Structure 1
Amino acid sequence: MAFLDIHAIQAVPPANMNRDESGSPKTAVYGGTRRLRVSSQAWKRAARKALEADSASIAPSERTKRLPEQIAASLADRAPDLADKASEVAQAAVSDVFKVKTKSKKEKESGKERLTTEYLLFLGHDQRNRLIDALVKNEASLAEAVNSPKDSAKKLAAALKELRLRDTVATAHPPAVALFGRMVATDPTLNVDAATQVAHALSTHRVDSEFDYYTAVDDVDNEADETGAGMIGTVEFNAATMYRYATVDLRSLVENLGGDIDTAADVAVAFVRAFLLSMPTGKRNTFANNTRPDFSLVALREDQPVSLAAAFERPVSSDDGYLGKSVKRLVTHQREQDTCYGTEPLLNRAVYPAWVAETVEEGEGLELPSSTPLDTVLTETRKKVRAVIGGDDA
C-alpha cells in the first residue's frame, strides 16, 4: 500500500465560492460549531480543470451529456456515406457502448439538433476519438446497415456490436478518470474506482455569515424618473481559514493507468500541484478571493491515508488571526497521531512562506517542518513515489 496525503491551511477573505440551494455559502456543524464548508465536488472540478490546463503532458478529458452530438458532427465531416444518418449512427453507437438512453431535440431559435444522453458521461478525448475512428473506419458496413430499407435499426445495432466499440472506452483512461473515477449507472462494468479521495474543506474555527447590501446606479441620466439606485440586492458571504485534505491511493492509480508506473508518478505529483493551487470559481468576479495555501504538507505513507481534520474538532479561537494557531494544531496533531500509532511518513514535506512561521506560537517540543519550495517538494515526491510504487529502494 502507498498513499499520498495532501494537507493545506488556507486563509480565504470574504467569498462565496460554493453555494447551497438558497445561494448561501455552504456550512457544516463540526465539533458542535458551525463551520464554513466547500464541497469536495467543487474542489475536485477545480483541481481537474487545473490539472489538465497546467500540464501539457496530461491528456484531456470531458464530462458531458453531448457525446452523441460530438460523434455525429465528426461523422458528418469525416464519413460522407454516413453524413445523412450521422445522428442516428451516433446515438446508436453511444447506446451500444454505455447502454444509455439518448434523445434528439431541435432548438427553436436556431433549428440546430441537440443530441444528448440521459446523464453525464466521463471519458478522455483520446477515448472519444478512438470510438469515432472505429466508426469512420467501418463507414461502408455501417452505411449499408443504417440505409437498409428493412429493419435498419436492428441491422445497425448488429453492425455496431461486431465493432466491439466498448473496448475503446474501457481502457487507456486519461489521468482525470484514473484519479476521480467514473460511474456508468447503466453498465457498471465500465465503472472506474477513483484513486483519489477529496475531503470537504472546513474552516478551522466558527464562522458567521454576513450580507453585502449593494446598489447599482443607472448610468443613463434619468434623474426625473429615477431618484435612487437602478437596482439593489444582497449577496451572502463569509471569510475563514480552512483545512483542506486529499489523498491518492497510488496502487489504484497505477492500476487505473494500465500499470504505467512512470505515468502514475507524474500524474500523482501533477495532482498535488493542481489541488493546492486550484480554487472553485463561485462568485469569483464578485469577491476576487484568489488565495493560495498559506501552509501545505505533503506526506507519503505506507500504512493508511490519514486526515488531520480532528486537529480542529475543537474550533480554534483567536482575536488576532487563525492562521498560526491552525498551523500549530495541524503539525502537533500529525506528530501525536504518528507517535500514538507507531507510524511515520516515508516523506513529509512542508511549503510555507517565512512570515507564516512567525505567526506560530511554538510551544515546548513543537518545531515546524522546514519549508521547501513547491517545485522542489514535487521533485522529491515524484522520486519517492516512483521508488515506492515501482518496488525500488524506498
Structure 2
Amino acid sequence: MTEQHVAVSSPAPLTFPYDAPQSKAELVDISPEIKWLRMPMPYALDHVNIYLLQVGGGWLIIDTGLDSTEAREIWEEVFSGPLRGEKVVGVYCTHYHVDHLGLAGYLTERWRVPLFTTYEEYFTLRGWPDLVTVPWQHAEFFQRAGFPQERLQETLVMFQFFPEISPMPPSFIRLQEGSILPIGKDWRVIIGRGHSPEHALLFSGDRGVLISGDQLLPTITTNVSVSVMNPEDDPLSHWLVSLDRLAEIPDEVLVLPGHGLPFRGARKRVAELQSHHQRRFQVIRDACFDRELSAYELVQVMYPAPLSDFDLQLALGECLAHVRYQIASGGLTLRLDESGVNRYRTV
C-alpha cells in the first residue's frame, strides 16, 4: 500500500468528549442507552474499555476484561450497584484476546445468556493448544527470527497457557459482516482483520456510534503481528485493507475504542495510522539496504529501548508483519542462512 491509497480528505482533528471514569465500578453515561466501564489490568496498558448497550429489555455487555479476582469483584459491584435490578441479555466479544474475552465464560454462565462473537475468534481461542511442553514449531519460529538463546526459554513459556481466561462457553451466536444484532436491530457488525482473525466492530448509523474494539484506537497503535500459530501469515495486508474501510467512517461519528478515551475524528486517526506503517516500512528498507538482517536484528532498529520478554515477542511479531508485507509486495528478499536464520535485504 502506498501513500496515495489513503482515503482521507482534510480530516478533522480528534476530539475527546468524555473523561475517564473516576472509580473502578463507575459507569459513565455515553447516552441513555450506552454506558462505559473501564476495567483495570496489571500491565503497562492498564485498562480495557467495556461498554453496555440497552437492548432487548436488558443490557448487552461489549467485551469483558481478563479473568482476575479484581475484575470479578468489579463486575459484582456493578451488578449490585449501578445495574441493580437490571438484567444482562448477552455478552458480545469483539475478539479473542484475553482482555476482551477473558470473562465471557464467567458472565454468560452467571446470567445464562448467549455469547456473541465471530467464528474465527471463537475457534482460534478454542483451538489454542493446552501445552505441557513447548512444541518444536514454536521454538523454530523464534530461532528462524534470530532470537538469542538466552531469551528464548522465557519467551516460549508465555505460549503454554492462558492464565487469565475463564472456561469458554460451549456455544455461541455467530457474528458476520453485516450481521444485525438480533437483540439490537439498529446495530450492525463490521469485520476488521489484522489485529485478530475476524474482529467484530459494532456500528449504529442512527446513533452515530462505532464500537471499534482494538481496530481503531485514539493514541496508541494496535499490535499487528505474525504469530507462532500462523508463521507464514501476512496480517498487515488485512490490517491496511481494514483501515481503508474505516477511513469511510464520518468524522462526526463517536468512536468507542477498546483502550483510551472515546473520540471523534476517525478519518484523522486512520490517516495517522496509515502514515505510521509507511514510516515503519521505510525504516526496514533503509536498515536492509546494504546488508542482510534477521528479524531480531530489525527489532533492535525499530525498538531501540530495552524490552521485557513480553514486549519483545510483541515487537518481533510486529516486525515480522512489516517484513512479510514487504516480501509479498516485492520490497524485500528472504534468504535462509546456514545457521537456520531468515535474513532480509532490500530489493
Where relative contact order (Cα < 8 A, 6+ residues apart) is larger, the structure is 1
TM-score by length of 2: 0.27
Greater Rg by CA: 1
TM-score by length of 1: 0.24
